[in-house]
Amino acid sequence: MADANQVGVGRINLSSGVGYDGAGDKYATYLKLFSGEMFKGFQHNTIARDLVTKRTLKNGKSLQFIYTGRMTSDYHQPGTPILGNADKAPPVAEKTIVMDDLLVSSAFVYDLDETLSHYDLRGEISRKIGYALAENYDRKIFRAIAKGARQASPISATGFVEPGGTQIQLNSTQNNTQATTASNLVTGFYDAAAVLDEKGVSSDGRVAVLNPRQYYALIQQTGDNGLINRDVQGTGLQSGEGVVSIAGIKIYKSMNLPFLGKFGTANTISNAGSFIGQSMDSGSGRQTATYARSGTTITVTLNAHGLSVGDKVVFDATAGGGTSGTYTVATVATNTFTITDTVSGTVSGGTACAFNIAGVNNGYGEAGDFAGSCGLIFQKEAAGVVEAIGPQVQVTNGDISVIYQGDVILGRMAMGADYLNPAACVELHVGTADAAF
């Protein structure tokens, strides 16, 4: 029998390629499927990117945003020159957002595994890479908005009063029940809308982000009282795509909201999930702590540090004989973590040290900074995001793929986030308001 004429699905222009070699790659077009899947995973799981101010950063490490304060008006006196307001208004201040380091998520796909698997291996991995990047992206932005809600206006010139951020208490008791009670939330929304109006914040682009349980509690409470768009029902109402509107504020749900010091990863109302992500203090992210060293093991003590095994930390032994440097977290407990020193020695407990997460250059707060935080209401000017590298995909090929008989599939981005206009930030909380950081 004659040989079958195989369709060149994976080849560009019907090339006769037999390996990984540019245009001669017999799998050349398959990589494009992965790219699309990664972007789909990212776009479907990030909501914050389009709700705040986003700028592209080129040829620099940070981006400057300018604030201008209010101006006054008065009546002209006939015969007198108009030479500008006597108070030299408007006052001007600046906000600089610094880039965090390159964030990556990657996986190695072995050729034989891909050949033998009965499902789309690359597509599944690509979606998970997109999810990982999107999760990090949203968590940073939401923490930055909560931070902004606790700040005064950057305009501090004498004689000028500009509004700062707002924290609204839903209930004096700090627990899950009060944070997810629909009547508390509805009252908080109207208070927030009034505050934003009084501060002169535009009503265009006002949104809210809630924990999933808060969102669904609102649907049950507001479904019969006209607060929901009657044109959006059924699956659209359940999707969490901002179909509930209270006081003109469009509502989204997200598990990436810092809810009572945790992210919504648990399936119970107690929200036993941990606060996942980088734990940082204000400014550069540097945190003061204490440590002890026994042999090569350094044990750092800091309550609710929020680190995970595998995190990279920049350790600074401000006292004692510990070796400063960048280390990988080896073990973690609630209030301690360990790293492995390059040399052996003994340092008694309680010795001063400092550390920060390697690669993070903005202050996004610690778990303890969000103990009562349970929702955000904001306008587009509330926070800014600077992107040097938007979400991208890279895949190895050529000699590397031949040597390892597989591909490293990598998603990457470089971004940083911080609050911009505190007046546009509103944080909902239960119990005592969390302090600024």
CB 126 within 8 A of CB 37: yes
Examine the pLDDT at 290 and tell me if it is beyond 70: yes
Examine the pLDDT at 240 and tell me if it is beyond 60: no
Band of residue 29 on the pLDDT scale cut at 50, 70, 90: low
430's tokens: 């239960």
DSSP single-letter state for residue 38: H
The proportion of the chain whose per-residue pLDDT surpasses 90, expressed as a percent, equals 33
Could you tell me which residue, 101 or 22, shows the higher pLDDT? 101
Range of weakest confidence among 31-40, 183-192, 385-394: 31-40
Rounded mean pLDDT, 418-430:
95
Rounded CA gap, 433 and 170, in Å?
10
Examine the pLDDT at 81 and tell me if it is beyond 70: yes
Rounded mean pLDDT, 343-358:
90
Rounded CA gap, 384 and 425, in Å?
12
Render pLDDT for 63-75 as a digit per residue (tens, 0 to 9).
888 777 777 777 7
Question: Look-up: residue for tokens 């939330």?
Answer: 185
Is residue 8 classed as helix, strand or coil in its secondary structure? Answer: coil
DSSP single-letter state for residue 49: G
For CATH 2.40.30.20, the residue range(s) in the chain are: 287-357
Could you tell me which residue, 168 or 77, shows the higher pLDDT? 168
Band of residue 131 on the pLDDT scale cut at 50, 70, 90: confident
Range of weakest confidence among 215-224, 269-278, 410-419, 428-437: 269-278
Rounded CA gap, 386 and 58, in Å?
10
Q: Which residues contact 232 (CB under 8 A, 6 or more apart)?
A: 243
Highest-confidence segment of 203-207, 367-371, 392-396: 203-207
Render pLDDT for 311-343 as a digit per residue (tens, 0 to 9).
888 899 988 888 998 899 999 998 999 999 989
Rounded mean pLDDT, 366-394:
90
**CA distance from start to end of the chain:** 76
Instruction: Specify the CATH class of 287-357 in words.
Output: mainly beta
Rounded CA gap, 351 and 369, in Å?
25
For CATH 3.30.2400.20, the residue range(s) in the chain are: 20-57+99-148+387-418
Rounded CA gap, 286 and 129, in Å?
28
CB 210 within 8 A of CB 185: yes
For 236-281, strand residue ranges (E) read 244-246, 249-253
Render pLDDT for 49-68 as a digit per residue (tens, 0 to 9).
889 998 888 877 888 887 77
117's tokens: 């698997």
CATH code of the domain made up of 20-57+99-148+387-418? 3.30.2400.20
Band of residue 21 on the pLDDT scale cut at 50, 70, 90: very low
Could you tell me which residue, 47 or 234, shows the higher pLDDT? 47
Range of weakest confidence among 87-91, 311-315, 423-427: 87-91
The proportion of the chain whose per-residue pLDDT surpasses 70, expressed as a percent, equals 79
Band of residue 276 on the pLDDT scale cut at 50, 70, 90: very low
Highest-confidence segment of 16-25, 116-125, 412-421: 412-421
Q: What's the alpha-carbon Rg for the chain, to the nearest Å?
A: 26
